[in-house]
Chain A
Amino acid sequence: MGSLIRRGTAVLLRMDDVSTDHIYPAKYINLTDPARIAEHALEGADPTLRTRLASVGGILVTGHNFGCGSSREHAVITLQGAGVTAVIAGSAARIWYRNAINLALPVLVCPEAADRVAEGDALEIDFLTGRIRDLTQGALLQGQAVSEFVAELIARGGIKPMMREKHAVGGRL
């Protein structure tokens, strides 16, 4: 296993228990096109977040139990479509976390990040060590390192490319 590092700009959602209804309201659940799914990212929490994320291609920094509630995978697809390249959460709800790693959206659990990081800070996350460097503040935060299993899944682009490889489906889809 090599490395799994993401750099980006912090976009803050200082809130615990951000549910899948906040991330992607159920009224849009019948949508299947990722571009249309992206149009409703975090609409139930703070509609301005999507614009902020779009402008910086950000790292979403949030509180405890992020993604609680429904199993809808839209709650990951919508963040990716809105430009989220990584998530730092105080803790992550199980199904959402699993959907995120399946779709290669890396998630770092760091309980203090939402209090310490400021909006717009430049961040560098090393998922294998669990360290977050806040380049703007010159601060170092320690989160929970992800397991080798999860790191490999993400490094290989998520479970879809792995399955395509295994079942020998050539070319880009």
Chain B
Amino acid sequence: MHAVHKILAAAANRKAVAPGEIVNAKVDLCGINDIYRIVIHAFHEMGGRRVRHPDRVAIFMDHNAPSSTLVGAENQKAFREFAREQGIRHVFEVERGICHEVAVQAGLVRPGEVVIITDSHTTTHGALGAFSTGVGSTDLAVALIEGELWFRVPETINLRLEGRLQDGVAAKDVTLHILGALGTDFGNYKVLEFTGPVVAGMPVEERMVLANMAVEMGAKCGYIQPDEATLRYLAGRVRPPFRVQESEPGYRFDAELGFSLDALEPQVARPGRVDASCPVREAAGVPIDQVFLGSCTGGRLTDIAAAARLLEGRRVARGTRLIVTAASREILEASIAHGYLQILLAAGASVTTPGCGPCFGLHAGVLAAGERCVTTSSRNYPGRMGSEQAEIYLASALTAAATAITGRLTDPRDPALRR
């Protein structure tokens, strides 16, 4: 069995499971986002009276943080009341940040466990050795009532990332490159495990980007086998006991693909499709109105640090705005402690409350028709960040920072940016 199969088997109280089977698995963390009040409706509609395990539920006020609309405010109020009624302690208020970052920081995500959150980027937590997947509101409500949920046991794909990344190339560039090569649905319903020296050499934050973007390839979950770095990252956050699962020796994946990444350049996905990727070099020079540094894909300390390194002593180009939204309060505080935020502010950045920000087109920095944006977030479908007539380029934090400096889509290795 694959490690993910072992996780599902343990959660379903079974000795073994096989791909294609439907199993009922105990859920260790049920996460709900503030925009999905329909979870509460579904809970009541299905006869829910008491949440089965309130200690395994978390509510995240992250998409409207803090709310700028009346309906958003009412939805958040309904969640606060629901949490009170049901004895749910883990309510992460509007200052805390994005569910995927906050859940990890609060120690709610453990290797070997089952995580569901009402957000598609829940694949992120596979980077910590959990089986973690995004669900709809009704599924989440079922898990609130029953404490478990049905899952179809997924097939597995091994993506071996070989070689060594060049300076200026990040996990985001790797995912955009893979998407460009394989498309948006090659991982549909499947486990995408990331292996190889490139993964082993990445900090855990960067591994989370790989797992996060697995959903853009259609995956049910991402997975990265925990190692020493993972355990160090989790120490002090997660209380033992937890059990790291490992694929059995000689496990054969349903498919394996290798990528040689020695020569990989910074990548960008052109507007409209997440798999429309090419080297930044090939699309360079396009004038950019807004740069967004943030989201559960690209708003971590590693991203803010990378942007600050490039922006130190420089200014955001006239006619371009830079919006910086740390993925969580913890990251915001660390950015201040390290002096990164001061650098970004001095460069002319607009810093907003930790949360999802403009990534999904509802909050703090939405785009007008005809505007172009370079973003470290995950999706560039038409209308994703506001107007359907806005154009969105996906890129790494370094490419975003280089673009903010020049006002045009720019490769961060551009000689003009050398000091």
Asked if A29 meets B35 with Cβ closer than 8 Å, knowing A64-B185, A91-B185, the reply is yes
Q: Is B184 an interface residue (CB 8 A)?
A: yes
Q: Is B403 an interface residue (CB 8 A)?
A: no
Q: Which of A19, A30, A158 contacts B64 (CB 8 A)?
A: A30
Q: How far is the CB of B216 from chain A (nearest CB, A)?
A: 8
Assess whether B142 is in contact with A159, with CB atoms less than 8 Å apart.
Answer: yes
Assess whether A164 is in contact with B384, with CB atoms less than 8 Å apart.
Answer: no
Interface-lining segment among B132-140, B194-202, B252-260 = B132-140
> Which residues, 194 to 247 on B, are CB-close (under 8 Å) to A?
216, 218-220
Q: Is B188 an interface residue (CB 8 A)?
A: yes
> Which residues, 108 to 123 on B, are CB-close (under 8 Å) to A?
118-120, 122
Chain A positions within 8 Å of B69 at CB level = 30
> Which residues, 28 to 56 on B, are CB-close (under 8 Å) to A?
35-38, 41-42, 45-48
> Which residues, 49 to 66 on A, are CB-close (under 8 Å) to B?
64-65
Interface-lining segment among A4-12, A92-100, A115-123, A130-138 = A92-100
Q: How far is the CB of B276 from chain A (nearest CB, A)?
A: 10
Assess whether B134 is in contact with A95, with CB atoms less than 8 Å apart.
Answer: yes
Interface residue count for B (Cβ, 8 Å)?
A: 48
Q: Is B72 an interface residue (CB 8 A)?
A: yes
For B49, the closest partner residue in chain A by CB is A167
Give Cα distance in the complex from A94 to B36, angstroms.
Answer: 19
Give Cα distance in the complex from A163 to B46, angstroms.
Answer: 5
For A64, the closest partner residue in chain B by CB is B185
Chain A positions within 8 Å of B47 at CB level = 163-164, 166-169
Assess whether A71 is in contact with B134, with CB atoms less than 8 Å apart.
Answer: yes
Assess whether B145 is in contact with A167, with CB atoms less than 8 Å apart.
Answer: yes
Give Cα distance in the complex from A101 to B273, angstroms.
Answer: 26
Q: How far is the CB of A102 from chain B (nearest CB, A)?
A: 5
Assess whether A25 is in contact with B383, with CB atoms less than 8 Å apart.
Answer: yes
Q: Which of B72, B135, B384 contacts A71 (CB 8 A)?
A: B135
A74, A102, A149 interface centre (most CB from chain B within 10 Å): A102
Assess whether A27 is in contact with B361, with CB atoms less than 8 Å apart.
Answer: yes
Q: How far is the CB of A80 from chain B (nearest CB, A)?
A: 13
Assess whether A65 is in contact with B188, with CB atoms less than 8 Å apart.
Answer: yes
For B361, the closest partner residue in chain A by CB is A26
Assess whether B188 is in contact with A27, with CB atoms less than 8 Å apart.
Answer: no
Q: How far is the CB of A148 from chain B (nearest CB, A)?
A: 10
Q: Is B92 an interface residue (CB 8 A)?
A: no
Asked if A25 meets B75 with Cβ closer than 8 Å, knowing A98-B139, A160-B45, A169-B46, the reply is no
For B33, the closest partner residue in chain A by CB is A71
Q: How far is the CB of B139 from chain A (nearest CB, A)?
A: 6
Q: Is A1 an interface residue (CB 8 A)?
A: no
B254-277 interface code vs A (CB 8 A; 1 in, 0 out):
000000000000000000010000
Give Cα distance in the complex from A125 to B137, angstroms.
Answer: 28
> Which residues, 132 to 190 on B, are CB-close (under 8 Å) to A?
134-139, 142, 145, 184-185, 188-189
Give Cα distance in the complex from A92 to B185, angstroms.
Answer: 9
Asked if A29 meets B384 with Cβ closer than 8 Å, knowing A68-B218, A71-B134, the reply is no
Q: Is B362 an interface residue (CB 8 A)?
A: yes
Chain B positions within 8 Å of A71 at CB level = 118-120, 122, 134-136
Q: How far is the CB of A158 from chain B (nearest CB, A)?
A: 8
Assess whether B379 is in contact with A19, with CB atoms less than 8 Å apart.
Answer: yes
Chain B positions within 8 Å of A168 at CB level = 47
For A17, the closest partner residue in chain B by CB is B184
Chain B positions within 8 Å of A98 at CB level = 135-136, 139
Q: How far is the CB of A26 from chain B (nearest CB, A)?
A: 4
Give Cα distance in the complex from A103 to B75, angstroms.
Answer: 22
For B120, the closest partner residue in chain A by CB is A71
Q: How far is the CB of B23 from chain A (nearest CB, A)?
A: 11
Chain B positions within 8 Å of A48 at CB level = none
Give Cα distance in the complex from A159 to B42, angstroms.
Answer: 10
Asked if A95 meets B136 with Cβ closer than 8 Å, knowing A21-B384, A32-B37, A44-B383, the reply is yes
Q: Which of B42, B72, B220, B362 contacts A26 (CB 8 A)?
A: B362
For B70, the closest partner residue in chain A by CB is A30
Give Cα distance in the complex from A23 to B229, angstroms.
Answer: 40
Q: Is B382 an interface residue (CB 8 A)?
A: yes
Chain A positions within 8 Å of B382 at CB level = 21-22, 44
Q: Is B337 an interface residue (CB 8 A)?
A: no
Assess whether B138 is in contact with A95, with CB atoms less than 8 Å apart.
Answer: no
Q: How far is the CB of B239 from chain A (nearest CB, A)?
A: 28
Q: Is B81 an interface residue (CB 8 A)?
A: no
The 8 A-B pairs of least Cβ separation, nearest first, read A169-B47, A167-B47, A163-B46, A99-B136, A73-B136, A65-B185, A21-B381, A71-B134
24 contacts between A and B (CB under 8 A): A21-B379, A22-B381, A22-B383, A26-B384, A27-B361, A29-B360, A30-B71, A30-B72, A30-B75, A44-B382, A44-B383, A64-B185, A65-B218, A70-B119, A70-B120, A71-B118, A71-B119, A94-B218, A94-B219, A98-B139, A99-B139, A102-B139, A103-B138, A163-B145
Known: A22-B381, A159-B142. 5 other contacts (CB 8 A): A21-B381, A69-B379, A73-B138, A93-B218, A95-B135
**A binding-site residues for B, Cβ under 8 Å:** 17, 19, 21-22, 25-27, 29-32, 44, 64-65, 68-74, 76-77, 91, 93-95, 98-99, 102-103, 149, 158-160, 163-164, 166-169, 173
